[in-house]
């Protein structure tokens, strides 16, 4: 800064360290799905001229799915079909059919020399036979000649108000053979953006609001509340209020929540709060096929991509997914590298079932399912079919219990452990709350097979309650260095925290001053992480190192606009196997067993 006028000036000086704040580690995004049949918003009509097939769309109020035209809207239907198929006036191929649609009983045959005679009643006109055949077909490709033909005929008997009964009638006039008419929808899924909630009360109100919005967008508002409301927001408010008063809507809402897929979602979110959860994001998508891909169109923010703009989300949870859908969710987390997937195993198993593959441990799998008390709003009976020997291993529920996938409850357990101890503590040997039991008992010997494959077991212990008794990721076999959940989640936290906290360094001069600042800030952050107990080592030098100097930043990297900081950390790992060596001691020698 240059100074030219004498006086006193104040200049702000950079104070030095820019603290790095740890990102949230236990905010989940819950994804749910329900069967959705899109309301028909257009009728797609298909026709062919023998060479090409064309399709035009009109609104269902004008044409039905059989191609029939509504009698009260004939003129509008003709206009809509003409525009949908881009039918030009001079593209008429069957004049006789056009005359009949306009109510004229026409006779067409040979006229004078080189002429075709068109007769309606006592009136008649003659047209050059090279333009119109004796069968009433337009055979000329000369647009001007066809235009002149139509003008001549119209002057004698009007043909500007056709009244077809079906789309087939109109298409034939223009040389198209009708093939089909089917209902279509602009969108094949129903979706609204994820919504943040912080407690069960907010969650239930959101469910009511979501259902009200869904009804408004898929049903007639007059049928729902008995009056016409034009403003969409006012209509949704009216349905939301009616859900608390109208018995029919109450029943519909309860039935919506009691669908197997939606109940798994709702029970998962409730289980999250039962186990100590705080903030989470909720998202429900209506789909035509419940086994469809959940990696939907990224541009439209559907499925997994709906959470793309949720920056503080750290866990992906979707209770009740199919095997392939779980694979997609795990792969999505491994690609993003900022989220951890919680997956559900089968309701009952032998430990040899197929599981998802993971190279870097961005997900964990839990078995068995849990039993919860039946909610007051639940309608119907839960129908879960298990056959063969597995059926005998399943613990039956009583009439006031329901089975639910464990991932939602485990997300709450993660949140509780993160709050009480920190993300470095393995989310295991912790009581699972809000449940009445398990769908299957897995004993210590049986668990060996599960544990070796990276499948976490929830077990019931006498006098110690039901506890999560596993802390492994799905990378247990493929890369054992990432086999522990707390190690992967600790790295996610540190990596994301440093990435967000170091944004100030972008476009700074790439010199020794910047390198020292980066080293100082990262060391300061890792020092806090070490003091929290997350890193192994009696001193900071044993727990981590940060290097940013001439060695990590040679000239060719500086010229490429890069600055490289090398970081190494030594995470604490859980004491999964606590082993005591015990032997006899006679005062001079130890004899071990």
pLDDT at position 106 is 85
| pLDDT per position as a tens digit, 58-67 | 888 888 888 8
Task: Please name the residues in contact with 259: beta carbons below 8 A apart, sequence gap of 6 or more.
Answer: 34, 35
**pTM of the complete model:** 0.83
Number of neighbouring beta carbons within 10 Å of residue 11: 5
Is there a contact between 356 and 376 (Cβ–Cβ < 8 Å)?
no
Indicate the DSSP class of residue 482.
Answer: G
Question: Encoding tokens for residue 406?
Answer: 């464990």
Distances (CA, A) of 254 to 114, 200, 208, 249: 76, 17, 10, 9
Largest distance between two CA atoms of the chain: 136
- Using the predicted structure, report yes or no on whether residue 100 has a pLDDT greater than 70: yes
pLDDT at position 348 is 95
- Using the predicted structure, report yes or no on whether residue 507 has a pLDDT greater than 80: yes
| DSSP letters spanning 222-291 | HHHHSS---SHHHHHHHHHHHTTT-HHHHHHHHHHHHSHHHHHHHHHHHHHHHTT---EEEEEEEES-TT
| pLDDT per position as a tens digit, 147-164 | 888 888 888 888 888 899
Q: How far apart are CA 224 and CA 232, in angstroms?
A: 13
Question: Encoding tokens for residue 485?
Answer: 């959940």
What are the backbone angles phi and psi of residue 391, rounded to the nearest 5°?
Answer: -60, -35
- pLDDT band, residue 43 (cuts 50/70/90): confident
- Using the predicted structure, report yes or no on whether residue 145 has a pLDDT greater than 70: yes
| pLDDT per position as a tens digit, 226-268 | 888 888 889 999 999 999 889 999 999 999 999 999 999 999 9
The residue among 506, 471, 502 whose CA lies nearest residue 489 is: 471
| pLDDT per position as a tens digit, 544-588 | 999 999 999 999 999 999 999 999 999 998 887 778 777 777 666
Which of 415 and 186 is assigned the larger pLDDT? Answer: 415
pLDDT at position 51 is 86
Is there a contact between 466 and 477 (Cβ–Cβ < 8 Å)?
no
- Using the predicted structure, report yes or no on whether residue 206 has a pLDDT greater than 90: yes
| DSSP letters spanning 5-37 | S-S--------S--PPPPPPSS-EEEEEEEE--
Number of neighbouring beta carbons within 10 Å of residue 563: 18
The pLDDT of 475-500, averaged and rounded, is 94
**Positive or negative, the Cα torsion across 156, 160, 164, 169?**
positive
Share of the chain above pLDDT 70, in %: 98
| pLDDT per position as a tens digit, 392-411 | 899 999 999 999 999 999 99
Length of the chain: 593
Which residues are bridge partners to 181 per DSSP?
45
């Amino acid at each position: 800064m240059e100074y030219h006028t004498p006086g006193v000036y104040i200049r702000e000086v950079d104070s030095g360290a820019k603290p790095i704040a740890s990102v949230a580690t236990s905010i989940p995004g819950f994804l749910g799905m329900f069967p959705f049949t899109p309301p028909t918003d257009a009728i797609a009509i298909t026709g062919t001229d023998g060479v090409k097939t064309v399709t035009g769309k009109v609104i269902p109020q004008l044409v039905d799915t059989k191609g029939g035209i509504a009698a009260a809207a004939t003129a509008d239907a003709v206009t809509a079909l003409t525009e949908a198929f881009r039918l030009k006036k001079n593209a008429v191929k069957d004049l006789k059919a056009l005359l009949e649609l306009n109510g004229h009983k026409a006779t067409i045959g040979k006229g004078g020399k080189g002429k075709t005679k068109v007769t309606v009643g006592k009136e008649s006109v003659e047209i050059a036979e090279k333009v119109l055949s004796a069968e009433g077909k337009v055979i000329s490709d000369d647009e001007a000649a066809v235009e002149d033909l139509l003008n001549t005929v119209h002057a004698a008997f009007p043909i500007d108000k056709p009244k077809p009964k079906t789309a087939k009638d109109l298409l034939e006039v223009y040389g198209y053979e009708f093939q089909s008419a089917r209902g279509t929808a602009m969108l094949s899924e129903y979706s609204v953006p994820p919504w943040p909630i912080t407690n069960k009360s907010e969650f239930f109100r959101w469910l009511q609001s979501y259902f009200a919005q869904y009804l408004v967008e898929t049903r007639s508002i007059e049928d729902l509340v008995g009056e016409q409301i034009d403003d969409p927001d006012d209509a949704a408010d009216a349905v939301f209020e009616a859900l608390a008063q109208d018995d029919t809507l109450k029943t519909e809402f309860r039935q919506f929540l009691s669908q197997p897929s939606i109940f798994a979602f709702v029970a998962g979110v409730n289980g999250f709060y039962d186990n100590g959860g705080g903030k989470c994001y909720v998202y429900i998508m209506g789909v035509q096929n419940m086994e469809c891909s959940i990696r939907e169109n990224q541009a439209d923010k559907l499925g997994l991509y709906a959470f793309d703009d949720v920056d503080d989300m750290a866990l992906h949870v979707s209770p009740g997914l199919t095997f392939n859908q779980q694979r997609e969710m795990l792969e999505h987390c491994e690609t993003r590298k900022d989220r951890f997937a919680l997956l559900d195993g089968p309701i009952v198993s032998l430990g040899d079932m197929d599981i998802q593959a993971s190279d870097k441990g961005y997900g964990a799998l839990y078995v068995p399912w849990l039993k919860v008390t039946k909610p007051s709003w639940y309608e119907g009976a839960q129908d879960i079919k298990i056959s063969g020997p597995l059926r005998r291993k399943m613990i039956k529920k009583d009439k006031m219990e329901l089975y639910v996938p464990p991932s939602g409850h485990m997300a709450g357990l993660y949140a509780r452990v993160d709050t009480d101890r920190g993300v470095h503590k393995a989310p295991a040997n912790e009581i699972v709350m809000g449940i009445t039991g398990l769908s299957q008992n897995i004993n210590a010997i049986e668990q060996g097979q599960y544990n070796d494959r990276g499948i976490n077991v929830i077990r019931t212990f006498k006098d110690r309650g039901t506890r999560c008794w596993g802390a492994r990721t799905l990378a247990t076999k493929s890369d054992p260095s990432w086999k522990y959940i707390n190690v992967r989640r600790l790295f996610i936290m540190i990596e994301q925290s440093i990435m967000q906290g170091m944004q100030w360094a972008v476009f700074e001069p790439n010199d020794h001053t910047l390198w020292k600042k980066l080293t100082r800030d990262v060391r300061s952050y890792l020092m806090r992480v070490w003091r929290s107990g997350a890193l192994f080592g009696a001193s900071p030098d044993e727990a981590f190192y940060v290097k940013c100097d001439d060695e990590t930043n040679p000239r060719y990297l500086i010229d490429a606009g890069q600055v490289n900081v090398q970081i190494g950390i030594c995470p604490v790992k859980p004491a999964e196997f606590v082993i005591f060596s015990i032997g006899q001691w006679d005062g001079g020698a130890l004899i071990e067993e």
